[in-house]
Chain A
Amino acid sequence: MVLPRLLRTSSFRLTLAYAGLFGASVFILFGVIYWATDIYITRSLDAAVDSDFTELGNSLNAGGHALLADQIHDRLRQMPRGPMHYLLQDRNGNVIAGDLLSLDHGSGRFDIAPNDRGSHTGHEPPVRARGAALSDGDYLLVGIDAHSREEMHELILRAFGWGSAITLILAFGGGALLSGGLLRRIETINRAVRDIMAGDFSRRIPVRGADDEFDHLVTSLNAMLDRIQSSMESVRQVSNDIAHDLRTPLTRLRQRLERAQHRAKSPAEWQTAADCIAEMDAILDTFGALLRIAQIESGAAACHFGGTDLSYLLRTIAEVYEPMADEKGQSFKAEIPCSLTVWGDRELLGQMLANIIENAMKHSPPGARIGLVTTASPTEIKVAVTDSGPGIPAGERSNVFRRFYRIESSRSTPGSGLGLSLVEAIARLHQVSVDLADNDPGLRVTLGFPPPGSIHTTRPVQRAPEPID
């Protein structure tokens, strides 16, 4: 597939246009040369014919037809192979003297084709001639072999042929070379960018050192990547700081509550402490989910991505949730093909799928149908989670991924409003598309996994440096 790709490059198209332009110039140039040379040679042939014609005219004036015929015989005897040719014929077309066929040539200057001149070998050149009727009605024609002009024509045409061929070869070869070079450099950038997207954030695009536009572009890209990486690291740092500075006092707080519960002197006290702990755990859940979303969005988790058995994961998830649906009086149907593999983190993918399924089950009434349908094609693996619940109005669909967003109708059901934000963060990290559609009735959430191998890095991914504790 290298050649068609080469043909599609903009530099190759440019080359093609240049080749066309050069070809046209070469064509015009040779045309002009051809035309000018033709005029020049024809003129010199005509000059030679004219001088002989004038001489013979003088002979005619001096000695009449007899002398003219003698002169013609003499000249043909001296130079039987040309270059001069003559024809003297009477008004009835009978040849009096000369070596050309009697033809009705008319007067003026013209060319006689080899066939019309009475060719013997077939290799004679055409003749450039001048004919004129004499005063007594006879006709005199003087001609000269035009092979110099023929040779020149041939030479020019051959030169034109070679010239065009070389121009085209140079144009295409140069174009391919140029495009190939550009393509290689772009491919280098592409490969680096793909590796970076796959989680190798320390990767940089190599600079060639030629200080050309490409190097400038690559330098800018690398500077951009540095900025992104440093902001990602600062997100990570902030997460770690939050983890440390907030989790430690929260840990103490929870411990004190547990202790208070332990030492409770009455059931009422015990219950108060238990309620506080439950409230605290709800806060910690939200806090944990926010932190987790931030960590996922920083992309650090992509460092330990690996081939994940999606079929097995889906079967596990289906097994875990099927009895739950049963308990709620909902039907649960799973269609999972065997041996599907995707690139990612099993834990995160599991959480994403669980969140979507829990969402479907939570918002659907008893009797609803929950589906987990997976279809695989060579280009994509699609996992659809369907329910027959109330669905999400079309206008609300893009909002549900927003943090803490809850649609009006679901405010009474418990939940933090972070479940789908987490789904979106995990999906984006895995380059998985999330599509919400009407299941008529209900909601259909479709996850589109990229084909296995497409986000596979070409080289082993480096592990992220461990956080400094």
Chain B
Amino acid sequence: MKILVIEDDAETADYVANGLREEGHLVASVASGSEALTIAMEENFDLLIVDRMIPGLDGLRLVRALRVADRDMPVLFLTALGAIEDRVSGLNAGGDDYLVKPFAFSELAARVAALGRRPRMTATEVSLRVHDLELDLLSRTARRCGELIDLQPREYRLLEYLMRHAGQVVTRTMLLEHVWDLYFDPRTNVVETHVSRLRSKVDKGFGPELIHTVRGSGYCLRGPA
């Protein structure tokens, strides 16, 4: 993916850029909003990572200006402004995701990966398949090796989210946000509980394990290599 990092703190900018390069992305970084606007209008980026408090044009105005100019690449706000109304205004301005500093790099990497391969919702897409696990999007049922798996509605949505991001790491907060629409960090291991329940239905008694725990980051659903 070709990513533009807009961040005025040099150390953070380097850290993010280098980390993403290690993940195999092509990364450019600029320190001011006006500079970012020029580059983003000239070149095609797959993703923008935007700090809100930057010199020149601030992050919100930058994203608004890009949206007005029909630049619809995904935007991830990476900012110190963490109040609810800050996130709301960020998403309203045209941001696709919002991550508050300080952040775990694994969280950023997971969100970047998820934004890069945003699911194209097409009418023709009727099923998802990973290895021998199949999800029928019309009847909202899951089968493994052709055998029907009995899922609760939320378990279905959890599995659907994991399958749409198959091969990517998804974090606990991403699951909480997208599966349950809850935006806070629970102090307890609620997400672990739900994933382990899902795992006992999807993986137990079948072939290779598909739902993997990625230590310190989250989960990944993928077929055997």
Identify the A interface with B (CB < 8 A): 239-240, 243-244, 247-248, 250-255, 258-259, 274, 277, 280-281, 284-285, 288, 291-292, 295, 300-301, 303-304, 316-317, 319-321, 323-324, 327, 345, 347-348, 350-351, 354, 358, 361-362, 414-415, 419, 464, 466-469
Contacts and interface: CB of A to CB of B under 8 A. Distances in A.
Nearest to A323: B193
B11 A252 contact: yes
Contacts of B9: 248, 251-252
Interface of B: 9, 11-12, 15, 52-54, 58-60, 80-86, 88-89, 100-105, 154, 180-190, 193-194, 197, 216
23 contacts: A247-B80, A247-B82, A251-B80, A251-B102, A255-B15, A277-B104, A281-B104, A288-B82, A288-B100, A295-B84, A304-B88, A320-B186, A320-B190, A321-B190, A323-B197, A348-B84, A354-B182, A354-B184, A358-B186, A414-B187, A466-B89, A467-B81, A469-B81
Contact of B216 (A274, A301, A414): A274
A415 to B, nearest CB: 7
A153 to B, nearest CB: 80
Given A250-B102, A252-B9, A466-B60, 13 more contacts: A240-B81, A243-B80, A248-B12, A255-B11, A300-B85, A304-B85, A316-B180, A319-B180, A323-B194, A324-B190, A358-B187, A468-B58, A469-B54
A358 B89 CA distance: 29
A3 B81 CA distance: 52
Contacts of B187: 358, 362, 414-415, 419
A351 B182 CA distance: 8
Contacts of B189: 324
Nearest to A259: B15
A320 B180 contact: yes
Nearest to B216: A274
B84 A345 contact: yes
Nearest to A361: B188
A163 to B, nearest CB: 66
B83 A324 contact: no
A466 B60 CA distance: 10
Contacts of A259: 15
A415 B186 CA distance: 11
A334 B15 CA distance: 46
Contacts of A295: 83-84
Contacts of B80: 243-244, 247-248, 251
B92 to A, nearest CB: 9
Contacts of A348: 84
B225 to A, nearest CB: 23
B182 A350 contact: yes
Contact of A248 (B85, B101, B154, B185): B101
B90 to A, nearest CB: 10
Contact of B186 (A277, A354, A464): A354
Contacts of B184: 347, 350-351, 354
A300 B81 CA distance: 14
Contacts of A253: 102
Contacts of B12: 248, 251-252, 255
A271 B101 CA distance: 23
A378 to B, nearest CB: 29
A259 B197 CA distance: 34
Given A247-B102, A259-B15, A469-B54, A350 B183 contact: yes
Contacts of A247: 80, 82, 101-102
Contacts of B82: 243, 247, 288, 291-292
B84 A316 contact: no
A438 to B, nearest CB: 25
A251 B194 contact: no
B84 A464 contact: no
Given A323-B193, A358-B188, A419-B187, A469 B58 contact: yes
B193 A327 contact: yes
A295 B11 CA distance: 28
Contacts of A415: 187
Given A259-B15, A320-B182, A362 B188 contact: yes
A362 B4 CA distance: 43
Contacts of A243: 80-82
Contacts of B60: 466, 469
Contact of A239 (B83, B154, B180): B83
Contacts of B180: 316, 319-320
Contacts of A301: 83-85
B93 to A, nearest CB: 9
A252 B103 CA distance: 10
A250 B104 CA distance: 12
Nearest to A274: B216
B89 to A, nearest CB: 6
A255 B13 CA distance: 11
Contacts of A284: 102
A258 B188 contact: no
A254 B102 contact: yes
A300 B190 contact: no
A467 to B, nearest CB: 7
Contacts of B103: 251, 254
Contact of A469 (B59, B105, B193): B59
A251 B53 contact: no
Nearest to B22: A262
Nearest to A239: B83
**Residue in A244, A253, A466 with the greatest tally of chain B CB atoms within 10 Å:** A466
B105 A258 contact: yes
B213 to A, nearest CB: 15
A358 B183 CA distance: 16
A239 B193 CA distance: 35
Contacts of A258: 104-105
Nearest to A316: B180
Contacts of B52: 469
